[in-house]
Amino acid sequence: MEGAAVTTEDAARAEEVRAWLVQLRGGAPFLSAADGKLLVDWLDAKIPVPTILHGIELVAERRRAKRTRTPFSLQSCRATIEKLARAGGGWRTPADLVVALAPAEPDALVVEALVELAAITGDDPEARARYACAVLRRFHARVWDALGEERAALLAEAAEDLGTLEALLGHDGFERACEEHARDRVRARYPTLSATRVWEEFGLGMV
């Protein structure tokens, strides 16, 4: 995001979106120029960050179901996010949110995330939802980092599953597809700890 009109808050919101997209897809840790412009337009239109994150996650799920291998970008999420932005809703208390998101058998990393969620404060519903999504993004990053040798095994399994696409995608594209596939499988272990569930519980739309 460039230009004199960009505020610190704008930059913080943009960073949350960038980090969420990268957490889901892996690969290059930056947005393309086209994605950056689109994100500025969304933030200028006051689309809440949790709505954008929810839309990215929905598109990731569809990509998995359809085995879509075109680049995973904000542009590919545009129709979904702009449709979600027309929805509306309210706010759940931190205690309600923890109950809604907690899996049946939480491990140590899950418990750590739930403690952070329970401590959410403030009067702005969108800010509280953004904080909840940031907690979940950090949680999934810790899970990915903690995989150790299992990560290599997951990437190898992804390469086997997607092997027929290697000639089509090229080496770099195939590696990106394998990482996206592996990250998706790890996130699927924690279906309640997602931006989609936060968005559903908060019901955020245009402000």
Q: For residue 205, is pLDDT > 60?
A: no
Which residue's entry shows tokens 């936060």? 198
For residue 66, name the pLDDT band (cuts at 50, 70, 90).
Answer: confident
pLDDT for 88: 55
Task: At 85, give phi and psi (nearest 5°).
Answer: -65, -15
Q: Which of 15-24, 117-126, 185-194 has the lowest mean pLDDT?
A: 117-126
Q: Say if residue 15's pLDDT is above 50.
A: yes
Question: Band of the pLDDT at 78, cuts 50, 70, 90?
Answer: very high
pLDDT of residue 120: 85
The label of the residue with tokens 């702005």 reads 124
Between CA 140 and CA 161 the distance in angstroms is: 23
For the chain, how far is it from start to end, CA to CA, in angstroms? 22
Annotate 28-77 with three-state secondary structure. CCCCCHHHHHHHHHHHHCCCCHHHHHHHHHHHHHHHHHHCCCCCCCCHHH
**Quick check: 173 and 13 in contact, CB under 8 A?**
no
CB proximity list for 143: less than 8 A, separation 6 or greater: 109, 186, 189, 190
Model-level pTM? 0.72
Mean pLDDT (whole number) for 47-69? 88
* Residue 107 in this model has a pLDDT that exceeds 90: yes
Report the amino acid identity of residue 136. Answer: L
pLDDT per position as a tens digit, 144-199: 999 989 999 999 999 998 888 888 888 888 998 999 999 999 999 999 999 888 87
pLDDT of residue 92: 60
